[in-house]
Structure 1
Amino acid sequence: MDIKGKRNQIPVISIVGGKSNSGKTTLLEKLIREAKQRGWRVATLKHDVHGFEMDQPGKDTWRHDQAGADVVAISSPQRIAVLERVSEDQPLDEVLSRIHGVDVIFTEGYKHADKPKIEVFRSAVHQELFSKRDELIAIASDIQFDNGIPCFNLDDAKGLCDLIQTVFNIKKNA
């Protein structure tokens, strides 16, 4: 994985864990808050293999979708959402190509993708690291690892963002 060669692109860091309930979302919430305090614009991308519904039955956009629209968008002064119907799971890079104007993208649920990873490891849930060594930029854990990969406490979002800032050359208060 060529992390250094991707400086002109938006950095993509996958938050992964070997099992569900490992603490990925909790860590991601902390990383987002810390990144926002640094002035970074942050995007997140969650992969859900089970499918999802964002719309509420009976609402106008839900009715548009039910009527067969391939793309349904809603816009307000505060947010824009675009829901697009697809025939199959899209490759990560295809989905990422639609995200612009941010300093960093965090993904959750793409543990097999070829993106730099922070693995969440809790000793009560896991027995060994899931990721390949060359994929990891860091480990967030309740125990220490002595394997040459930077290891941070599960609550150390500041330390993890310091590492991300250094590795991907993200300017503070961008």
Structure 2
Amino acid sequence: MDEKEECSQIPVISIVGGKSNSGKTTLLEKLIREAKRRGWRVATLKHDVHGFEMDQPGKDTWRHDRAGADVVAISSPKRIAVLERVSDDQPLDEVLARIQGVDVIFTEGYKHANKPKIEVYRSAVHQELFSKLEDLIAIASDVEFDNGIPCFGLDDVQGICDLIESKFGVKGSAG
């Protein structure tokens, strides 16, 4: 099995919402904790249209980057990080192809990507669902929807993970 085939078999689920402060990150944190409790190996991928900095000014890797290295990696007994300079925004599937050895990948910030989505909807923030119904596998909300899409409470991560297990066959190392 080549790298692209392996990646294509890892379920990718996008956590989306129509606006900032909809609760995407909060739901994702809870989903990660529940997934880890079930023994799943989890990857997350956050899209940031504004750019980001992970390095600390003055540290060695920061100095390597500022000197012009195209790829800067740092490794320790517990973590590895690789920062790669790119010319423009990379397609989601190309970024996903780099992630291996996990049972599920959750994305946040890729609301227009062609991946199955769980939309976070809070009545205080939203007027209507952002996503097309055919793109949704579930809705996490503080109100009920009667549109044929499974609807879970904002804290019902057990129910959402049960859905992911049944829909995508995610078992994890404990399963």
- TM-score if structure 2 supplies the norm length? 0.94
- The answer for unaligned runs of 5 or more in structure 2 is 1-5
The 3-state SS of whatever aligns with 2:65 is helix
Check conservation: 1:71, 1:84, Cα contact below 8 A: yes
Residue aligning to 2:3: none
Q: Distance in 2 between matches of 1:130 and 1:8?
A: 26
Aligned to 1:115: 115
Q: For residue 143 of structure 1, what is the aligned residue in structure 2?
A: 143
Evaluate the alpha carbon distance shift between residue 42 and residue 148 of structure 1 in structure 2; reply closer, same or farther with a 3 A threshold: same
Shift of 1:8: 6.3
In structure 1, runs of 5+ residues without a counterpart are: 1-5
User: Counterpart of 1:15?
Assistant: 15
Deviation at 1:170, TM superposition (A): 1.0
1:7–1:169 CA contact under 8 A, matched in 2? no
Which amino acid counterpart does residue 51 of structure 1 have in structure 2? G
Q: Which amino acid aligns with 1:106?
A: F
Structure 1 runs, 4 residues or longer, greater than 4 Å off: none
CA contact (8 A) 2:16 2:120 kept: yes
Aligned to 2:43: 43
Distance 1:122 1:170 in 2: 28
Residue matched to 2:99: 99
Name the aligned partner's letter for residue 34 of structure 2: E
Report SS of the residue matched to 1:93.
helix
TM-score (normalised: structure 1)? 0.95
- Correspondence for 1:131: 131
Secondary structure of the corresponding residue to residue 14 of structure 1 = strand
**Which residue in the other structure is 1:54 paired with?**
54
Change in Cα spacing, 1:80 to 1:7, as seen in structure 2 (3 Å) is closer
Identity %: 83
- What is the distance in 2 between the residues matched to 1:25 and 1:44? 11
3-state SS in 1 of match to 2:19: coil
Per-residue CA deviation, residues 40-79 of structure 1 (Å, 9 max, x unaligned), is 0000000000000000000000000000000000000000
Within the alignment, does 1:169 sit opposite 2:169 as a pair? yes
RMSD: 1.3
Q: 1:171 offset after TM fit, Å? A: 1.7
Taking the aligned partners of 2:101 and 2:171, their CA distance within structure 1 comes to 14
Letter in 1 for 2:101: G
The 3-state SS of whatever aligns with 1:18 is: coil
* Structure 1 residues 139 and 70, CA gap change in structure 2 (3 angstroms): same
Alpha-carbon distance in structure 2 between the residues aligned to 1:110 and 1:74: 27
> In the alignment, which residue of structure 2 is the partner of 1:3?
none
1:64 aligns with 2:56: no
Aligned partner of residue 9 in structure 2, secondary structure: coil
Contact 2:10–2:104 (Cα < 8 Å) also in 1: yes
Say how many residue pairs are matched.
Answer: 169
